[in-house]
Structure 1
């Protein structure tokens, strides 16, 4: 039985569109014996999540390991209404995109931040001590998700025009292919300029104290998110946002505010590394040697570009650092998979021995 979703129902405010209608039809057709209802995950708790359905908000219990992949904020799930204990999630719809970082535990695993994201806003405090290397990590994370990144230079009102121009030039030089928009909390036009560059489901990323929650409130048009102070000694703030929450924004956007990220390991990037450092990658194809390390080889186009001021040595160093992290992550992932295969094989051997004992 296929569930019809009326275009006027609450799900449209939470990002439902024609593409999700098609995906939902396929999801439902694969489970013809179940009466299912589509829902979007707006907040995840331990063992449960809050969802928005055509019938209104609900909290759904999700025992560990019940769904693979486990739902994250922004996912669309199918709810069964036939159980004796009320609605239960029976599956996660295939994702358009997923925003994930490497696990902060150092294991070769990913920690999902949000799913089905269209735009990632990297919030940088104009007056902060945030390094360009960290900005590049945020952008690599965004590109790797499949979403379009945008940089919001928050707290721009704390700088004079000359200082702001200097910061803009510095960030734009490294944010290749990404629009950088200065935002003033007292200037609605600057907020509108940022909003014009956003589409669909929008996730805010940034360090603690970058002004994400203030920016979220400006976009929503009300004081929905708590705002905290920033320490003057190091420019860092407290985690005023402690969970990821998805909320509709007037005008058709859906917003996810996230806790500030103090540790920012990046998982396997693939093409996203080359996209983040497109200026370096484009020059590197002209190196004399295909395996050029860009250190001292003759005919190295990258070193020539640095000498000519196309980009600086810091940019290359940052690129190399992320390359090394990718190699480490890949090696750890391969080792983990190999260990899992060995464990599974030992189980098979033990079962075989028990049967023939």
Structure 2
């Protein structure tokens, strides 16, 4: 694999300059992860890799470990003599993350260094505007450009109506309708992942992400299951995040379907720009939009300009982000204490080594 090949999947001037800080190591891009084993794409092709002990020891949470899409520095160009060792993670340009599903409070990184996030939502029974608002809040906060992809358009009789509803909530994001089975709209998606760019596909299980990626790859590289007749939903197929190189340039990341998207962070000012604009017109700058007179938000809800469900979801996401902010502050304090403890331990070890050397 040539240097030009790495540039094809995003190894631009920024990452080249960062990699130059480690002249004795080699740049590679993380393409998949299976527990503690990674696959990375380097100049000589794809190889298996593990995290160096020092990097693992200094890690505090999931953000400190490699994720799919990361550019990392490894100790070799091929793994014929053993697994490559990941010593450093280069700074990330973008990161799509969520609070892990279930009862865990851990952070889960979905993908990094992505230019475009395709939020896939089928226009059959999966259609859910409130869930889309949640995805958009996280996508805008990631540093990537969100694009809403309405999949399985051939199964929808009122696609124009669905399109209009999505455009009302996907403020600032492009909306594309596709039918992978009939190859409609696929070219529009492909045009957004040109040479040197990367994109991630996210959404619920069975919305057609894998089918769409197969169309982009011009080959059946991902397993696809048929729609369940009883509820019009697709079966879950993708089991782990995986980066694939597109023919002619660019890269895409397929992700498992998400049963829930718990916020770790989000940009409500962008995803709910209409509500923010109404709020600026309120009589009081600290208006809670509940009981105060002269509230432009309440007036917009009353005259139908702002759907009450959208405002309710906005308040719900606000509360979630406030909770996550408090949790993040506690985590940052714990991390600072942990780093301080590690520094003190290293200092004691260094002092002990000096004492031992003097005794000799």
The normalised TM-score by structure 2 is 0.84
| C-alpha separation in 1, matches of 2:342 and 2:210 | 49
Which deviations, in whole Å up to 9, do the C-alpha atoms of 1:29-82 show, x marking residues without a partner?
Answer: xxx5xx211101101121120011111211012267257420000001111239
Equivalent residues in 2 for 1:50-65 (5 A)? 50-62=39-51, 65=56
The normalised TM-score by structure 1 is 0.85
| C-alpha separation in 1, matches of 2:141 and 2:161 | 28
| C-alpha separation in 1, matches of 2:7 and 2:338 | 46
Shift of 1:343: 8.6
Do 1:14 and 1:247's aligned partners in 2 also have CA atoms closer than 8 Å?
Answer: no
Do 2:51 and 2:87's aligned partners in 1 also have CA atoms closer than 8 Å?
Answer: no
Instruction: Return the match for 2:268 from 263, 267, 273.
Output: 273
| C-alpha separation in 1, matches of 2:340 and 2:247 | 54
How well do the aligned residues superpose, as a CA RMSD in angstroms? 2.7
Equivalent residues in 2 for 1:1-357 (5 A)? 7-8=3-4, 10-25=5-20, 27-28=21-22, 35-62=24-51, 65-66=56-57, 68=59, 69-81=64-76, 87-160=84-157, 163-199=158-194, 200-269=197-266, 272-337=267-332
Which deviations, in whole Å up to 9, do the C-alpha atoms of 1:167-196 show, x marking residues without a partner?
Answer: 111111111111111101244351112222
Shift of 1:326: 0.8
Structure 1's 67 and 303: CA in aligned 2 closer, same or farther, altered over 3 A? same
Which deviations, in whole Å up to 9, do the C-alpha atoms of 1:265-299 show, x marking residues without a partner?
Answer: 01122xx1111111111111111112211122111
| C-alpha separation in 2, matches of 1:55 and 1:76 | 15
Do 2:30 and 2:39's aligned partners in 1 also have CA atoms closer than 8 Å?
Answer: yes
Structure 1's 88 and 170: CA in aligned 2 closer, same or farther, altered over 3 A? same
Aligned length: 334
Structure 1's 53 and 320: CA in aligned 2 closer, same or farther, altered over 3 A? same
Q: Decide which moves more: 131-140 or 223-232.
A: 223-232
| C-alpha separation in 2, matches of 1:61 and 1:151 | 35
Do 2:52 and 2:87's aligned partners in 1 also have CA atoms closer than 8 Å?
Answer: no
Do 2:241 and 2:253's aligned partners in 1 also have CA atoms closer than 8 Å?
Answer: yes
| C-alpha separation in 2, matches of 1:323 and 1:105 | 20
Aligned to 1:351: none
| C-alpha separation in 2, matches of 1:214 and 1:289 | 50
Structure 1's 292 and 51: CA in aligned 2 closer, same or farther, altered over 3 A? same
Shift >6 Å, 4+ stretches: 339-348
Q: Specify every segment of 5 or more residues in structure 2 that has no aligned partner in the other structure, as ranges.
A: 344-360
Q: Decide which moves more: 299-308 or 46-55.
A: 299-308
Q: Secondary structure at the match of 2:173?
A: coil
| C-alpha separation in 2, matches of 1:309 and 1:104 | 35
| C-alpha separation in 1, matches of 2:307 and 2:208 | 29
| C-alpha separation in 2, matches of 1:112 and 1:240 | 20
Shift of 1:235: 4.2
Structure 1's 206 and 51: CA in aligned 2 closer, same or farther, altered over 3 A? same
Q: Decide which moves more: 185-194 or 60-69.
A: 60-69
